[in-house]
Structure formats: C-alpha cells, structure tokens
Amino acid sequence: MRSHRTPRRRTRTRTGVVRAAAFAGAAVLLSGCASYGVSPGADGDSGTVTYWLWESAQLPAYQQCAEDFQAQHPDIDIKIEQFGWDDYWRKLFTGFISDSAPDVFADHTSRYGEFADRGLIVPIDEQVEEAGIDLSQYVAGTTDLWIGPDGKRYGLPKDFDTIGLFYNREMAEEAGVSAEQMAGLTWNPTDGGSYEQVIARLTVDENGVRGDEPGFDKSRVKTYGLGLGSAGAPFGQVEWSYLAMTTGWWYMDEQAWGTRFNYDDPRFQQTISWWRGLIDKGYMPPLAFTEGGSPDQQMQAGRYAIVSEGSWQTANYGALEGVELALAPTPIGPSGKRAAMQNSLADSISASSEVKGAAWEWVRYLASEDCQSVVADAGVVMPAIASTVEASKASLGKTGFDITAFTDQIDAGSTFPYPAILHAAEVQATTTTGLENVMSFNTDVSSLTQMNERVNALFE
C-alpha cells in the first residue's frame, strides 16, 4: 500500500487509502458555495494558530516546538493536526474551498506554485526582511526553492533531503561487493559502468546463479539487483534523476517555473533506455511488479538488493526487521560527479488566515534554530539550518546508517534543486502515462519525444 511508504517528497499523486471515496459521485454532485475565491483573512497577532503537517513520525518534535513556542508567546495557541500524505492535500484543497484551511501548513515544492498562483498562500518577503532573518544560515540551495513563480518568497525552509542507495549488506558481502566499492560506483548510459556490474552481481535467480554468471535465468529471479518503485513521473526524484542529471541534462528551459521541457533530449532518453534495459536483462523487476508491496517491503523480503531512495526514508529503512541494510551515495556519472535531487519543505501561511501576524511568528519559530535543533534530535529528517546538521547526523546515525552518503553531496555541491513547475498535476498525469508506457515496453523510448510535446502544450 502506497501510504505506508510515507512518500512525503514524492510528487506522485497516485493515491493510498482514499477517504475521499465519498467524492465518488464526483463532479456532477459537487455542490459549491455561491462566492468564489478565498476570504482575505486578517492580520491578528494573537489567538489560535492551526498548523497541519503530514508526517506522523515528525509529530512529536513539532509538538515540542509548539510547547516551547507557546511558553514564549502566551497569547498564541498552536493547534497541530496531522493527516497522511494523500488525505493531506485533499483536505487542504477542500479547506481552501470552504475557507477552513489551516493558518499555517507544511508545504511541498511540487504544490506551492499552484497555491501561490491562485493566491491561496501569502508571500513573506516583507516579514523576512523586517525580522532580519539571515538566509545564509540555511543549508545551501534550500531557501531558493521557496521563491515562487512570481519571484516572491512563500516559505522558510525547515528541513532538507537528498537521495542515496540503500542496499542489503549481507547480500553485498556474499557477492563479494565491499562497502568501498559501493561508495565508489560509477555509471554511464552506455554500459552502466560499475553500477550495472554491481547490480548484475547482486541479482540472483532461483537456482542461485548470479546475474553476471552464465546460465542466469532472467525469467525466474529471486532477488533483483535494483528495486523499482514506479516509473518516476514526472521528475524521477528517487527513480532516475540521480542518473539523468550526471549527463548534464536538465528538465526544462529554466531552473524553476520553466515552460519548455527537455524530455526529448537524447541524454534523458539514453538514461531511461539504460534504466529500462535493466528490466530486459532481469536485473530490475518489470513495472507490473510495482503494484502491490512497496519497495521497503520488497527490500525486507529480500526481493531487492539495492533501492534508490530519499533521505526521509532513513528511519523507515532503519526500522526494517530481519534485514541488515547499509547506505551508499549515488554513483558518479559521465560528468565526473555524483548527482542527487535536493528538496526542502517549508511552512506556508494561508491567505485566508485571520491571524497572519501570529502565523508569521510561528513560521519564524519553525524556521529558527530553537525549533530545528529539536527536529534534529528527533532523528527523522535533516533540519535546514546548517548548524543543526551535525546534531542531526548523530541522531540519524542511530539508525545504523552512515548518512554522510546524503550530506557529502551537499558539501560537494553535487545536488540539484527540486524542479518546481506550474501545472504540476497536469504534467504529472501526462508524464505518468508516457513513462509507464515506456517502462512497460508498450512504446519505444523515443515516444518520450511526443510526451514532451504534450507537456509543452500544457504551457502554451
């Protein structure tokens, strides 16, 4: 089940448990209110501030932050509510429509553009300047993610994440793959480099024959060298972006908010071609196998030896019983460098909030060292303030993983920002079909060129 994966940075809008089944009658039954747009709210400085977040694992840390905050601001009450990822965005959506949205909510790079575009959240440039907040205290790259399509700032970063490779340590040892080897993998779209060799080596069929040995039966694979979670539409955040980006490719004509896309670029298509080739070789499961158990469950069952995953999954993978996992950085590509997508969450203020003054105080506190060091100690995610990252390394290190695999890429400057775009849901729908068709071998990789045209058409 998808929601079990807590796909907090995922852009996929495909659903988990849908309480919105009540929506089934859907649009025909939609009963609306007579007025359109959201109420303008007010700037109240005291009262109750409602705060929403989607990750249950982070709830205790933010509860702590709220208590500390309330001790400093006795006239402000923080009311925290938590909903799972899928429910979260739907509830937020209906909240906006019915003027019952939370005053402050944890926001995602893939979503806030639409909210800003529709005037549902407010920019905070003035407040940031007035309060004299030092933007350089945050981990490089995190603050810019929150500059919206109109050039205004819509959030202060509260944490950040990147991508790494979780692998089964015992399987690697059995196959004679050392931790040093895993840390020094190379990749290219032609022969896959040492990354493909290791994936082949870790693939084992039901007779115990390895993927790189003669007699390997690709139709009866017991353990796939590389796991697969989805076709990775639209950005392949954990699926293929760490490969594509080492070829010098970029999604679109701009760093963010672009309108012309590059899914027709040969560098991208070669990457997907190599990636898809792993299925053909029997080193990665067919796309059809991704319906059902999630990658972490398959990992636990010993079906996958390596999966590329986000740092936000560290605690989850660390808690898997019965398997001993380790963490490696993503491979070095043709550029001579590694690459990993870096994303950051921030808290946004609803335009309809009646207490925007108090809401800003809370947002400011969430983005402060006081709160972020609490988050660091909780050991679930890495907070965005650079000075707290060391504490976070220690607490996340308790999971048994060496999380320098994530943080080294930030220090080395080999990360790239999450590509924020408008029309995200439309792009998602178009690319999901396009990429799933390619990954299920319905269409050729070159069909991604037509997909690119369809995506571009959304922006015309």
Partner 1 sequence: MAIATRAARLRTSSTGEPLRPDANGSPRERLTALAFIAPALLGFAVFYFWPTLRGFYFSFTEYDVFNAPVWVGLDNYRAVLEDAVFWNSMKVTVLYVVINIGTQTVLALLLAVLLHRLTRSVLVRSVIVLPYLISNVVVALVFYWMLDAQIGIANQFLGWLGVDPVAFFGDQNWAIPTIALVNTWRHLGYTALLLFAGMLMIPGTVYEAGRVDGASEWQMFWRITLPLLRPVLALVLVITVIGSFQAFDTVAVTTSGGPAEASNVIQYYIFDLAFQRYQFGYASAVSVVLFLILTIVAFFQLRLMRADQSDMA
Specify the DSSP class assigned to residue 153. B
Near partner 1 by CB under 8 A: residue from 83, 93, 267, 397: 93
Residue 422 binds partner 1, judged by CB under 8 A: no
Q: How far is the CB of 320 from partner 1 (least distance, A)?
A: 13
Residue 15 binds partner 1, judged by CB under 8 A: yes
H-state helical runs in 152-265: 169-174, 179-183, 193-202, 241-244
Q: How far is the CB of 428 from partner 1 (least distance, A)?
A: 8
Residue 429 binds partner 1, judged by CB under 8 A: yes
Residue 457 binds partner 1, judged by CB under 8 A: no
Q: How far is the CB of 426 from partner 1 (least distance, A)?
A: 6
Residue 303 binds partner 1, judged by CB under 8 A: yes
Q: Which backbone phi and psi does 106 adopt, to 5 degrees?
A: -65, 130
Q: Peptide bond before 286: cis, by omega within 30 degrees of 0? A: no
Residue 436 exposed, middle or buried by CB count within 10 Å (0-12, 13-18, 19+): middle
Q: How far is the CB of 301 from partner 1 (least distance, A)?
A: 5
**Rounded Cα gap, residues 144 and 161, in angstroms:** 15
Q: How far is the CB of 277 from partner 1 (least distance, A)?
A: 19
Report which residue type is found at 269: Q
Residue 136 binds partner 1, judged by CB under 8 A: no
Measured from the CB atom, the residue of 112 and 406 that comes closer to partner 1 is 112
**Rounded Cα gap, residues 330 and 183, in angstroms:** 8
**Rounded Cα gap, residues 260 and 376, in angstroms:** 38
Near partner 1 by CB under 8 A: residue from 79, 118, 260, 337: 118
Q: Interacting stretch for partner 1, rule CB under 8 A, among 155-163, 264-272, 280-288, 337-345?
A: 280-288
How big is the chain, counted in residues? 460
Residue 358 binds partner 1, judged by CB under 8 A: no
Q: Interacting stretch for partner 1, rule CB under 8 A, among 68-76, 134-142, 282-290, 394-402?
A: 282-290
Q: How many chain residues are in contact with partner 1, going by CB under 8 A?
A: 54
**Rounded Cα gap, residues 350 and 361, in angstroms:** 14
Rg of the chain, C-alpha, whole Å: 22
Residue 297 binds partner 1, judged by CB under 8 A: yes
Alpha carbon 58 to its chain centroid, in Å, reads 16
CB-based contact 100:337 (threshold 8 Å): no
Q: Where does this chain bind partner 1 (CB under 8 A)?
A: 1, 13-18, 20-21, 23-32, 36-38, 90, 93, 96-97, 114, 118-120, 219-220, 285-293, 297-298, 301, 303, 425-426, 429, 432-433, 436-437, 440, 442
